[in-house]
């Protein structure tokens, strides 16, 4: 049972480039979430999904897109990367309130 | 508008003593509260939770207390161990909200040997 896995672990992007952060869970959880964590701050919710085919915006969705074609996968897409998107990104899944987190992706936009 | 506040950015305690981490919330609709622990370069891991119908929940060395009238919760760690050194996040959720959580900014706990 791998839990929640995220790839890549690290990435440096140039301004204007795009990329997809991958997230996979093997716990058959319906709920999945993407957060970003900036230095000295808590986790801010970007997007979430309540099941395959259903996604909705969180607190800070601008500049991001998501899709959920399967229960297992919940990729986060960054289009036209900006320096303000430099952050650590965490994916989580849950059967309820207790969320299980992946190890994170550290993204730098230069 | 910070709905979940952890006003102490850091806390330092001696090994074997009690660690008390505090959290305040402003949204009276929150009815489920959790504490997460985070080591550097890792994702947060769930520690303990409490529902608003309780005022205390205990799991080994960890106890969470909830004071609904004061909109305050605290995490007690007894006895503290050096391996407890980490950032602790308080999180709150509201029933019927698709289990979305609102997180505080975290408190860095350092347990000195």
pLDDT in tens, B78-106: 999 999 999 999 999 998 888 999 999 99
Residue A16: what pLDDT? 96
- As a whole number of angstroms, the distance between CA B63 and CA A57 comes to 34
Percent of chain B with pLDDT over 70: 100
- In degrees to the nearest 10, what's the CA dihedral of A74, A108, B109, B93? -30
Please give the pLDDT value at position B58. Answer: 98
- Give the pLDDT confidence score for residue B54 in this predicted structure: 96
Domain encompassing residue B60: 4-112
Instruction: Pick from A50, A97, A100 the residue to mutate for testing the B interface (most B CBs within 10 Å).
Output: A97
**Dihedral (CA of A17, A18, A23, A29) sign:** positive
Contact B47, B62 (CB under 8 A): yes
Residue of A nearest to B9 (CA): A40
Mean pLDDT of the A71-76 span = 97
- Judge: B46–A100 Cβ closer than 8 Å, yes or no: yes
A75 interface with B at CB cutoff 8 Å? no
pLDDT digits over A27-71, tens only?
Answer: 999 999 999 999 888 899 999 999 999 999 999 999 999 999 999
How much of chain B, in percent, has pLDDT values that exceed 90?
Answer: 94
Who wins on pLDDT, B2 or B58? B58
Query: A59-73 in b/e burial notation, b at 16+ Cβ within 10 A?
Result: ebbeebebbbeebbe
**Which residue in B has a C-alpha nearest to residue A43's C-alpha?**
B103
Q: How far, in Å, CA of B44 to CA of B42, rounded?
A: 7
Distance from CA of B78 to the nearest CA of A (A): 23
Q: Which among A50, A90, A101 has the least Cβ separation from residue B98?
A: A50
Mean pLDDT of B40-69: 97
Burial of B67 (C-beta count, 10 Å sphere; 0-12/13-18/19+): exposed
- pLDDT exceeds cutoff 80 at A12: yes
Nearest by CB: A97 against B4, B9, B34? B34
Per residue in B5-22, pLDDT (tens digit) is 999 999 999 999 999 999
Q: What percent of chain A has pLDDT over 90?
A: 94
For residue B98, what is the domain's CATH number? 2.60.40.10
Kindly tell me if the per-residue pLDDT of B1 is higher than 80. no
Mean pLDDT, chain B, rounded, equals 96
Would you say B70 and B26 are in contact if contact means Cβ atoms under 8 Å apart?
Answer: no
For domain A4-100, give its CATH number from 3.40.190.100, 2.60.40.10, 3.40.640.10, 3.30.70.930: 2.60.40.10
Mutation choice for B interface testing from A5, A42, A58 by most B CBs within 10 A: A42
Average pLDDT, chain A: 96
The band of A108, judged by pLDDT with boundaries at 50, 70 and 90, is very high
Taking the C-alpha atoms of residue B39 and residue A109, their distance in angstroms, rounded to an integer, is 24
Chain A nearest-CA distance from B32, in A, is: 8
Contacts B103 to A, Cβ<8 Å: 35, 42-44
For residue A3, the model assigns a pLDDT of: 95
Contact state of B9 with A90 under an 8 Å Cβ cutoff:
no
Burial class (CB in 10 A: 0-12, 13-18, 19+), B69: exposed
- The total of structural domains in chain B comes to 1
Q: State the nearest Cα–Cα gap between B41 and chain A, in angstroms.
A: 7
């Amino acid at each position: 049972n791998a839990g929640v896995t995220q790839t890549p672990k690290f990435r440096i992007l140039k301004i204007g480039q795009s990329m997809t952060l991958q997230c996979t869970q093997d716990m058959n959880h319906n709920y999945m979430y993407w957060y970003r964590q900036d230095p000295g701050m808590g986790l801010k919710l970007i997007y979430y999904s309540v099941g395959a085919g259903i996604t909705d915006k969180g607190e800070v969705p601008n500049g991001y897109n998501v899709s959920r074609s399967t229960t297992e996968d919940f990729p986060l897409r960054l289009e036209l990367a900006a320096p303000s998107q430099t952050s650590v990104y965490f994916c989580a899944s849950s059967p309820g309130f207790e969320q299980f987190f992946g190890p994170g992706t550290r993204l730098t936009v230069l | 508008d910070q709905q979940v506040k952890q006003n102490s950015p850091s806390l330092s305690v001696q090994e074997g003593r009690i660690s008390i981490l505090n959290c305040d919330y402003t949204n009276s609709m929150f009815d489920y509260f959790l504490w997460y622990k985070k080591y550097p370069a890792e994702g947060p891991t769930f520690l303990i939770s409490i529902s608003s119908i309780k005022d205390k929940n205990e799991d080994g060395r960890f106890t969470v207390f909830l004071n609904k009238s004061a909109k305050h919760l605290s995490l007690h760690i007894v006895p503290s161990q050096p391996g407890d050194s980490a950032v602790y996040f308080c999180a709150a959720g509201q029933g019927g909200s698709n289990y979305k959580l609102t997180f505080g900014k975290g408190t860095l706990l350092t347990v000195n040997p």
